[in-house]
A and B are shown apart, each in its own frame.
Chain A
Amino acid sequence: MLLSRLAFWIAATLFVLALPFVLGEGYHLHLLIMATIFAIVAAGLDITVGYAGLLSLGHAAFFGIGAYTSALLFLHFGIPMWGGMISGAVLAGLAAFLLGFLILNVRGHRFVISTVAFAEIMRLVANNWTDVTRGQRGLPGILPPVIDLPWGGSINFVSKTAFFYLAVAIAVICIGIMWRIAHSPLGDAFIALRENEHLAESVGIDARRHAIQAFTIGGFFAGIGGSLYAHYVSFVGPDLLNFSYTTIFLVMVVTGGMGTIIGPVVGALVFTLLPEYLRIAEGYRLIIFGGILVLVMLFLSNGMIDIWTRLRNWLRRMSPTTGAQSTDA
């Protein structure tokens, strides 16, 4: 079955590589790029919320910090996306670290509200520090990166196809890193924190330290997503720090399946693509979002991935032959 796994990955890779040619340089590819960017953010949020159990309601702030940092570095110093992305992620991670360091002595509601407060402060700064951020007018003209080839010529990522490949490559690396972290002793420590903080502390797991780590990791990858967004959409404004972004990220994580990494990625795909393809008027879309959030949290709190896993287990039980062979987890 190692062979079948390998076959799956090869097929998936070919599928992804072929997508731009199938879809063309249009709206659909645009949506996929957005979905990819959000997948990175959602996966990072999963580490914070799904693995460590820290309900962060300020994630849009880290997304925004990444976007603004990258934008400002490009516009004022000509630093291309590569540098901007790392800087944005580091700054976002640092902000998360500092906030976590200050605030993670308290948990529960108080922590949640302080993340909201922080995000709102950041949004007000983005809106009003017009000298730097130009307030509502935003920062336009952020260009995608260019790679100068040693033998002359260059690869330009302006086209959607090129940016798509770039975004997917970065996403694969980021999500791979997060997967590795989640399935390591560090991830186990986060889970212990979530499941029973009291018990975790009493077997030597430093709860506060790990909470700060999980929070920082989430912020870091939100920063990467923000930077990618800035260089793709070419425009950054204070609306990026709106609570609505935080909500969408949470919806992706929760409906996809918390604590799975893959779930939020699927959630990101679904919640970027679905609303557009259903062609629903703007107002109704959010009503449906709200309704979905309510229903999922009340009845389906393990998300879509859980449905998928349960379906697979059920299918396995139904078919006696595959039940014996299959040992995939």
Chain B
Amino acid sequence: MLDYFPQYLFNGLLIGTNYALIAMGLTVIFGLMNIANFAHGQFYMLGGFIAYQLTTTLGLNFFAALVVSVVVVTGLGILLERTIFKRLRNKPLISSVLVTIGLAILIENLALVLWGARPEAIPNPFPLTPVQIGPIFTTQPRLFAVVVTLAAIVIIHLLLHYTRAGKAVRATFQQQEAAALVGIDIELIYSITFGIGAGLAALGGVLLGTIFYVNPTMGDVATLKAFVVTILGGMGSFPGAIVGGLLLGIAESFGTLVSSAYKDAIGYVLVILVLLYRPQGLFGKA
């Protein structure tokens, strides 16, 4: 069993990076706008399906489809922020939760109507021949996914810390009123941040569709996982989303050794435990 330890670890990291991608967007939206977006997973799903649509019906090159899909969903995110989420900002919790749930149902069932309930894989140029790195067996699509995710995380980090726009985002994050006073366009920051969060989720969806497949109901599970990771890592914490995502992925991976049916329950039990003993999560503020 222990021989497989590195394999399980790698698998856990693989799925963990995917979780991190979805969670990053959610945690940032929460930290900035204090809105719990239950429709977040739909961006994940849409990313996957748009890429699928582009590669199959339009015959677009895989990499181009990936980029286009992320851009489209980012744009959709900005649109939704301007129309719906803007109105939710100072409303009570029940409004934002129920509106986003309504939105999730709407988008998911629209997707069901458009694409049917069958899972689809995104055609990609990677051969499925196994690749071996030391004791670990994997495939090219999976390696691609990990590399892209890590690249995305690094890019976001660089953008946040070394560009003016990034600093503006961080400033708004920490102290909105002060940021507004120094002339930062808060509305723009909100829209862009929301859009990027959606785009990150979409990227996750495309990558998943490359490794496995996408189906219109995957948004629900994605939303739940995103919330689990966000609570584990701390709502509003970027590093929390990454570390939390990896931890959840690894925990679930090793959890399949015990029981693969209850693998998903691991995250939920962790959530309840965290809420009992450390409600702010790993990196959150008390």
Contact = CB atoms under 8 A, between A and B. Distances in A.
A297 B279 contact: no
Interface in A100-145: 102-103, 105-106, 108-110, 112-114, 116-118, 120-121, 124-125, 127-128
A141 B30 CA distance: 47
A116 B228 CA distance: 10
Contacts, number: 116
A112 B268 contact: no
B159 to A, nearest CB: 27
A290 B102 contact: yes
A32 to B, nearest CB: 25
A128 B264 CA distance: 12
Contacts of A292: 102
Given A109-B30, A116-B224, A116-B227, A298 B87 contact: yes
A103 B275 contact: yes
B19 to A, nearest CB: 15
Given A102-B272, A103-B272, A250-B98, A287 B30 contact: no
B200 interface: no
A184 B110 CA distance: 44
Contacts of B276: 102-103, 105
B128 interface: no
Contact of A294 (B84, B94, B261): B84
Given A250-B98, A287-B110, A108 B268 contact: no
Nearest to B279: A106
Contact of B261 (A105, A128, A290, A291): A128
A125 B264 CA distance: 11
A283 B112 contact: yes
The DSSP consensus for interface residues of chain A is helix
Interface in A246-290: 247, 250, 254, 283-284, 286-287, 289-290
A297 B95 contact: yes
A113 B271 contact: yes
A182 interface: no
Interface string B253-286: 0000000011011011101100110010000000
Interface size class of A (residues with CB under 8 A): 35 or more
Nearest to A281: B113
A31 B262 CA distance: 35
Interface residues of B, number: 41
Nearest to B87: A298
Given A110-B279, A291-B102, A294-B84, A55 B113 contact: no
A301 B92 CA distance: 11
B179 interface: no
B84 A298 contact: yes
Given A55-B94, A102-B276, A117 B106 contact: no
Interface of A: 49, 53, 55, 57, 102-103, 105-106, 108-110, 112-114, 116-118, 120-121, 124-125, 127-128, 243, 247, 250, 254, 283-284, 286-287, 289-295, 297-298, 301
Given A124-B261, A127-B261, A295-B102, 18 more contacts: A53-B94, A105-B279, A108-B93, A109-B235, A113-B36, A113-B275, A121-B265, A124-B265, A128-B261, A128-B262, A254-B94, A284-B109, A286-B105, A287-B106, A287-B110, A290-B102, A290-B105, A293-B105
16 contacts: A53-B94, A57-B97, A112-B93, A113-B227, A113-B228, A114-B275, A116-B224, A117-B269, A118-B268, A120-B224, A124-B261, A287-B109, A290-B102, A290-B108, A297-B99, A298-B95
